[in-house]
Amino acid sequence: MNKNCYACNKPNLTKEEVGITKKLLGDKSSYFYCLSCLAESLDVDIDFLKEKIAEYKDSGCEMF
Protein backbone atom coordinates (compact mmCIF):
# COMPACT_ATOMS: atom_id res chain seq x y z
CA MET A 1 0.00 0.00 0.00
CA ASN A 2 2.82 2.43 0.92
CA LYS A 3 0.71 5.51 1.52
CA ASN A 4 1.87 8.28 3.84
CA CYS A 5 -0.23 10.54 6.04
CA TYR A 6 -1.00 13.78 4.23
CA ALA A 7 -0.68 15.83 7.44
CA CYS A 8 2.26 14.35 9.36
CA ASN A 9 3.86 12.18 6.65
CA LYS A 10 3.67 9.01 8.80
CA PRO A 11 4.78 6.24 6.41
CA ASN A 12 2.98 3.01 5.54
CA LEU A 13 -0.58 3.74 6.57
CA THR A 14 -2.61 0.66 7.43
CA LYS A 15 -5.51 -0.61 5.36
CA GLU A 16 -7.79 0.58 8.18
CA GLU A 17 -6.36 4.12 8.10
CA VAL A 18 -6.77 4.34 4.32
CA GLY A 19 -10.24 2.79 4.51
CA ILE A 20 -11.59 5.11 7.22
CA THR A 21 -10.18 8.14 5.40
CA LYS A 22 -11.98 7.08 2.21
CA LYS A 23 -15.17 6.24 4.07
CA LEU A 24 -15.36 9.56 5.92
CA LEU A 25 -13.84 11.92 3.34
CA GLY A 26 -15.03 10.23 0.17
CA ASP A 27 -13.82 7.21 -1.76
CA LYS A 28 -12.28 9.42 -4.45
CA SER A 29 -9.94 11.04 -1.91
CA SER A 30 -6.33 11.09 -3.03
CA TYR A 31 -5.07 12.19 0.40
CA PHE A 32 -4.95 9.82 3.35
CA TYR A 33 -4.50 10.38 7.07
CA CYS A 34 -3.23 8.40 10.03
CA LEU A 35 -5.80 7.97 12.81
CA SER A 36 -4.31 10.77 14.91
CA CYS A 37 -4.40 13.35 12.12
CA LEU A 38 -7.83 12.26 10.89
CA ALA A 39 -9.24 12.50 14.41
CA GLU A 40 -7.77 15.98 14.81
CA SER A 41 -9.04 17.07 11.40
CA LEU A 42 -12.59 15.86 12.15
CA ASP A 43 -12.51 17.00 15.80
CA VAL A 44 -13.26 13.52 17.15
CA ASP A 45 -11.19 11.18 19.26
CA ILE A 46 -9.29 8.16 18.01
CA ASP A 47 -11.60 5.78 19.89
CA PHE A 48 -14.53 7.07 17.82
CA LEU A 49 -12.62 6.27 14.62
CA LYS A 50 -11.71 2.81 15.91
CA GLU A 51 -15.38 2.14 16.69
CA LYS A 52 -16.37 3.23 13.17
CA ILE A 53 -13.69 0.96 11.68
CA ALA A 54 -15.06 -1.98 13.69
CA GLU A 55 -18.63 -1.17 12.58
CA TYR A 56 -17.64 -1.04 8.93
CA LYS A 57 -15.64 -4.26 9.20
CA ASP A 58 -18.56 -6.02 10.90
CA SER A 59 -20.91 -4.84 8.16
CA GLY A 60 -18.64 -6.42 5.55
CA CYS A 61 -17.29 -3.22 4.01
CA GLU A 62 -14.55 -4.20 1.55
CA MET A 63 -12.47 -1.07 2.29
CA PHE A 64 -11.28 -2.72 5.48
pLDDT recorded at residue 63: 85
Contact 53, 9 (CB under 8 A): no
Query: Once rounded to an integer, what is the mean pLDDT over residues 30-52?
Result: 97
For residue 1, what pLDDT band results from cuts at 50, 70 and 90? low
pLDDT of the residue at 21: 96
Q: In sequence order, which residues have a C-beta less than 8 Å from that of residue 56 and are 6 or more positions away?
A: 19, 20, 23, 63, 64
Quote the pTM value. 0.89
Give CA–CA dist 11/57, Å, rounded: 23
Residue 34's alpha-carbon distances to 14, 59, in angstroms, are: 8, 22
pLDDT, mean of residues 17-45:
95
